[in-house]
Amino acid sequence: MDPAPAELAAALDPDTLTPEEVAGVLAFAGPGGEAVRPARMAPVLVLLDVLPPRLKERLLTEFIGSLFRV
């Protein structure tokens, strides 16, 4: 895995994380665009695996929330 996305994400504070920051991390990690295809989720899953639990939970919460915004 490219360490740059993990370094970017690790610099984020889970208590002040914004939806825009989450979108930036996800775009940087690989899926990009509006639709996230399962084939492109591998980089995101690898990224989540190396993050601290609080940050991982916050990123996942924002990511799942973004899937259901209309």
Q: Could you read off the pLDDT of 3-36 as tens digits, one per residue?
A: 777 787 778 888 998 878 877 777 776 555 444 4
State how far the Cα of 63 lies from the Cα of 9, in Å rounded to an integer.
13
Question: Which residues are CB-neighbours of 18 under 8 A, at least 6 positions away?
Answer: none
pTM, to two decimals = 0.64
